[in-house]
Amino acid sequence: MTGTPVPIILDVDTGIDDAMALMFAVRSPRIDLRAITCVAGNTGVEQVVRNTLYVLDTLGAPDIPVARGAHRPLLAPLHAADHVHGRDGLGGFSRPSDRRLSPHTAVELLRSELMSAVGNGERITLVPTAPLTNIALLLRTHPEVAAGIERIVFMGGSAERGNATAVAEFNVWHDPEAAAITLAAAGQLDIPVTMYGLDVFDQVTVTATEAAELRRHSDPAAQLAGAILEFQCRVFGLDRATIGDAGTVCAVADPAGLTTRAWPVRVDYGHGFGRGQTIVDKRHRGPDLDADPHREAQYPATVVDVAIEVAAEKYARVWQATIAD
C-alpha cells in the first residue's frame, strides 16, 4: 500500500472490534485520522467515550479530537451488546484516561472538520463502525457537509444474513431509522457509500496463537489487542477471532483488497421480523424489476457498493504488522 494517507473520521461505539479499528487507524501510514466521534451502541455513550480515550492512551496517540454523540438511537431504546463485548464494552480491560474530550458534540465536530476540508479543497472519508445515529443527524442537519465527504465506508448490514437477528446486522438493527436516513441522504446528496457488512466481516481473522503473541508484545496497544482477541475467542468458543471493524479501516487503506458490487439497498425500519434488515436488490434489470411496486417508494433504494469478497489473509497480516510494529 503506497500513496498519500487517506484522511478519515471514525464514528465508533467502542466495543472490542472498534478498539482494533482505532488501533489500525492511528498507526497505519495509509490513514490520516482527523477526528473520532462516539455514539451509543455496543455500550452506553459515556462508556464508549471512556473506552475510546483509553485505547488512544495505550497507543500513545497524539491529541486527536474525540466528541460525544447520540446517547441512544433516534426512536428505539438502547440495546447494548454486553454478551459480546463485556459489561464495560471492552472485555473488562477499560481503564480511566486523563485525555480531554472535545467541547463540541459529535455533529458539531463532524461539521467543523468537514467544512474545514471544503475550505482546504479536501474531502474526508467517513468511517462509521457503529450505529449510524450521528451520521443521520449530521446529514439531515447540515447537508452542506456533503461537499467535504469523499465517501462513507460503514461497517454494517448484510446481503445474506444477520447476527442481531436472523436477517439484521447489529449496527443497522440498533438504529434502523438512522441507517435508512443515512442511505437516503447519501443518495440525495450524491455521497458514494460502501457497505462493509457481515458478508466479509467475519473472514478477516487472527488465530488464538497469534493473539497470545500480541498479548506478550512489549507494546501496550499490542498487548491490549491480544487480550481483546483472546477474550473474543473465549466468548465464541473458537480458536480464532475476527478483527471485525478494523477490516473496514483496512478497506479504506487498501480498497483493492475489497470486491464490491453496486446494488440498490434500503433498510427495513418496520417493527416485524425484518426490522434492521438491509434489503439488497441483486436482481438484473428486466420486466419484473420495472414492475416492482416499490420502485416509486417515497424513499427509493440507494445504490451502494456492497462488499462481497475480501482479501482476508492480506488484511489480517497488514493489521497485525501495523499494530505490533
Q: How far apart are CA 41 and CA 256, in angstroms?
A: 30
pLDDT tens readout for residues 143-166: 999 999 999 999 999 999 999 999
Q: Residue 2's pLDDT is what?
A: 56
Q: Are 151 and 127 in contact (CB under 8 A)?
A: no
Residue 279 confidence (pLDDT) above 60: yes
Burial (CB count <10 Å: 0-12, 13-18, 19+), residue 201: buried
Under DSSP, is residue 37 helix (H, G, I), strand (E, B) or coil? strand
Quickly tell me which residue has 436516513 as its cell: 181
DSSP state at residue 265: E
CATH of domain 6-323: 3.90.245.10
Confidence band for 97, pLDDT divided at 50, 70 and 90: very high
Q: Domain residue spans in the chain?
A: 6-323
Residue 43 confidence (pLDDT) above 80: yes
Q: How many CB atoms lie within 10 A of CB 298?
A: 5
Q: How far apart are CA 154 and CA 260, in angstroms?
A: 13
Pick from 128, 127, 136, 129: nearest CA to 76: 136
